[in-house]
Amino acid sequence: MARGLSLVAGGAVAARSRPAQHHPGIGPGERWILPAPAQATLSELFAVHPRDGGWAGFLIANIDPAKPLLWVQDRMAIAESGRVHPPGLPPCDLIHVTARDARDALWAMEEGVRCAALSCVIGEIWGDPRVLDFTATRRLAVAAERSGAPCWLVRLGGSANLSGARMRWRLGSIPSLANDLDSKAPGTAAWDAELFRARGYPPGRWSIARDAGTAGAFHLVAATGDRALGQGQRRRA
């Protein structure tokens, strides 16, 4: 459960991974790394469906819980998709901002991303507001790179128009993995993750599941409708 509103010193920069491939030519058990920017910057994430909240789990897996998290939502994002539920987050210092509109949300994100003490800034914006243009996204990317605080812009019900984001993802939930303790219960969450634009990386698409034992780590899993990839064949990311 989130512990309140406080700040601690620090900053984080993501490590660079090798280029992505649609069908990685690697053997079972060989290490594989999900593409990540060379430095903290702006990444953009599009939910495959506005009512699919699975993207939140994907982002949480990329967050350092030892540092405060700033989460900004504009009014329409809250109305259409719901408010952040702190008990569902890992233990961390959460700063939640409710913005009247996209303009206020972008202002709050830019102010927050200038703070190197934050582990990450997440901003949810609904639709395609006019203020969310290339200039606005470019400003977020530059601010994140200068401070070392990663920024995720979550686009709910929006289109992939011109953007200054360095990496652009499209994410959808897929059936969870089997639960080892109860076959009728959901297991580890899994996603269909498509990287459709990135600076320095080719596009790619993967079915992935979170590695609960390692922060920021994922497994490659069988695609939806094909569970032929066994436990011994999962590849760590």
Question: Can you give the pLDDT at residue 217?
Answer: 64
pLDDT in tens, 120-154: 999 999 999 999 999 999 999 999 999 999 999 99
Q: How confident is the model at residue 207 (pLDDT cuts 50, 70, 90)?
A: confident
Question: Can you give the pLDDT at residue 81?
Answer: 87
Beta strands in the chain (DSSP E): 42-47, 69-74, 94-99, 120-126, 151-156, 167-174, 190-198, 204-210, 218-220, 235-236
pLDDT in tens, 7-42: 222 223 233 333 334 444 443 333 456 788 889 999
Q: How confident is the model at residue 64 (pLDDT cuts 50, 70, 90)?
A: confident
Q: Which domains are delineated in the chain?
A: 42-176+186-236 (3.40.50.300)
Residues 184-204: what's their mean pLDDT? 87
Q: What percent of the chain has pLDDT over 90?
A: 45
